[in-house]
Structure 1
Amino acid sequence: MSTVMSEPPPPLRAGLLAGRKGLVLGVVNQRSIAWGIARRLAAEGAELGFTYRARSAGQWLEKSLPRLAADGAPAPYLGHCDVLEDGAMDRVCAEFAELHGAVDFVVHAVAHADKDELAGGLAGTSRQGFTQAMESSVYSLIGLAGAVRPYLSPDSSLLTLSYLGAERVCHGYNVLGVAKAALESAARYLAAELGPAGTRVNVLSAGPVRTLATFGLPNFAASMAQRAARSPLGRPVTPQDIAGTALYLLSDLSSGTTGETVYVDAGYHVMGTWPGDVGHA
């Protein structure tokens, strides 16, 4: 009498980021692009740390972070960090590295401009408003790179978030468009500077999704619908689309990619004219 041997179960999938440890800056609430990215990274085995600026964001994160930790694992690191405050980024990077020994990746999702500055057009931007937008959106990446550099592992990755307004005129984006252009340039320079040590620096330029930040932009809902209809894929971008590309850029799948701006906008940025445009070629 023969014995039927059952096949062994397939091995458990470890995840693309199993054993990798990284910081996420810029989560405000559950609508944040950074939160969608963090959830995807945690699902792939990453051990995460978070920073916050506003007290409300810190309180929300404190309640939400335990859901990201594996059973039996400690809750993710959480630290207050105002990127406009000298020494704040140095402190949180040192605290995270002390807990984990090294930093394998960083997600920089920090940008800010006062809504009154955005409403006034670029020519109406005040010196103070311009300085705040540049310090919040651009220097925060530069300062973060310097603060985390001593703790980066040899195959580490830095990722920052941008928008099409960095290279094209997007109505209402104004000084933030100028700041995002500078951010993308800064990322390229950092990629060249940190590359010899094995660190990659890339930019993810995301299409419009509904976040807290977009409430300050005029006609956002109408613009989002129009862009979805005019994109090659004919649909809006989802947080899952963005998180999947972030995972690629932070994992070994993109080991040969640095200094790049990768668009996740359903292809909208490739278009120059559309059917029905007067005089389109």
Structure 2
Amino acid sequence: MTRPDPLVANLLRGKKGLVIGIANDQSIAWGCAKAFHALGAEVAVTYLNEKARPHVEPLARQIDAPLFLPLDVLQDGQNEAVFDRIAETWGHLDFVLHSIAFSPREALGGRVVDVAKPGFLTTMDVSCWSFIRTAHLAEPLMKNGGTLFTMSYYGAQAVVENYNIMGVAKAALEAAVRYIAAELGPKGIRVHAISPGPLATRAASGIPEFDALLDKAREKAPARSLVTIEDVGMATAFLALDAARLITGDTLFIDGGYHIID
């Protein structure tokens, strides 16, 4: 990993944060974890299950993660266990990055109007409610303020072909960000939805015709370039700085300007 400029290497020194959602070295969450670490923060890392652990554990070691914990938000009690461990180890928390979403194939692959209730509920549970619950658990640990991040996508605000029910879930997630920002703002807690341009991640691989979407983004974005996990990571890390303390409650696009083009 490239060493950061000495002028920025300590901008998050002394800060402690949690990153949820690293699946492998192509994950947006990994780009963010690297950036937080490069700016001097201590970063706790979660992994989904034992199958995922071998892919995530080497990455956690790369950033000297002091805590490496299992977290499947569909398993009762696991989210609470993670925050209990952080409370025991650190006693406080400065930032949390929530970068998880899931929809069963039968729900994601069909029309929104046809989605069955179980698929809808699972999609909303993982992709939206888990962030709300994470914010609830993080709040008492952010004793001196802090920052909550979650990952969205342009399909929350406009119809993107094949994004389907995930667009509905992301729209709910962005609304949750606004309400939570309003509720926690008096405590100095900022809340951000980060909306990267399309990226070739494991999560995106479940979206039909995703390669065509990547090509379209590359051709139409004003920057004429696809975003990388490093681009997303550094922009997100900036928002964790004290200098960004008055930025909150919005969806922030990191997509080379793609979202402004019809």
When normalised by structure 1's length, the TM-score is 0.88
After TM superposition, give the deviation of residue 175 of structure 1 in Å: 0.6
1:118 aligns with 2:108: yes
Which 5+ residue runs of structure 1 have no aligned equivalent?
1-10, 70-74, 273-281
After TM superposition, give the deviation of residue 27 of structure 1 in Å: 0.7
1:154 aligns with 2:144: yes
Match of 1:186 in 2: 176
Residues in 2 aligned to 1:253 and 1:44: alpha-carbon distance in whole angstroms: 14
Are the counterparts in 1 of residues 9 and 38 from structure 2 also a CA contact under 8 Å? no
Match of 2:243 in 1: 253
159, 164, 172: which one aligns with 2:162: 172
213, 222, 239: which one aligns with 1:232: 222
AA aligned to 1:254 is: A
Paired residue secondary structure (1:153): coil
After TM superposition, give the deviation of residue 253 of structure 1 in Å: 2.7
Moved more, 123-132 or 149-158: 149-158
1:132 aligns with 2:141: no
Moved more, 226-235 or 162-171: 226-235
After TM superposition, give the deviation of residue 61 of structure 1 in Å: 2.1
Distance 1:225 1:199, change over 3 A: same
- Greater Rg over alpha carbons, structure: 1
Paired residue secondary structure (1:258): coil
Between the aligned residues of both structures, percent identity stands at: 40
| Map 1:72-87 → 2, pairs under 5 A | 75-87=65-77
After TM superposition, give the deviation of residue 12 of structure 1 in Å: 7.2
Paired residue secondary structure (1:143): helix
Deviations 1:9-45 (CA, angstroms, capped at 9, x unpaired) = xx87652111100101111111110001101111111
Are the counterparts in 1 of residues 147 and 189 from structure 2 also a CA contact under 8 Å? yes
Distance 1:238 1:14, change over 3 A: closer
AA aligned to 1:246 is: T
Moved more, 155-164 or 93-102: 93-102
Deviations 1:137-180 (CA, angstroms, capped at 9, x unpaired) = 11001111111211113231001110000000011111100000
Match of 2:3 in 1: none
Are the counterparts in 2 of residues 115 and 217 from structure 1 also a CA contact under 8 Å? no
Are the counterparts in 2 of residues 188 and 259 from structure 1 also a CA contact under 8 Å? yes
For the aligned residue pairs, the C-alpha RMSD in angstroms reads 1.4
1:45 aligns with 2:40: yes
Distance 1:229 1:86, change over 3 A: same
Count residues in correspondence: 257
1:92 aligns with 2:82: yes
Residues in 2 aligned to 1:61 and 1:181: alpha-carbon distance in whole angstroms: 29
Are the counterparts in 2 of residues 27 and 57 from structure 1 also a CA contact under 8 Å? no
Structure 1 runs (4+) greater than 4 angstroms displaced = 11-14
1:67 aligns with 2:62: yes
After TM superposition, give the deviation of residue 55 of structure 1 in Å: 1.9
1:108 aligns with 2:84: no
Are the counterparts in 2 of residues 83 and 89 from structure 1 also a CA contact under 8 Å? yes
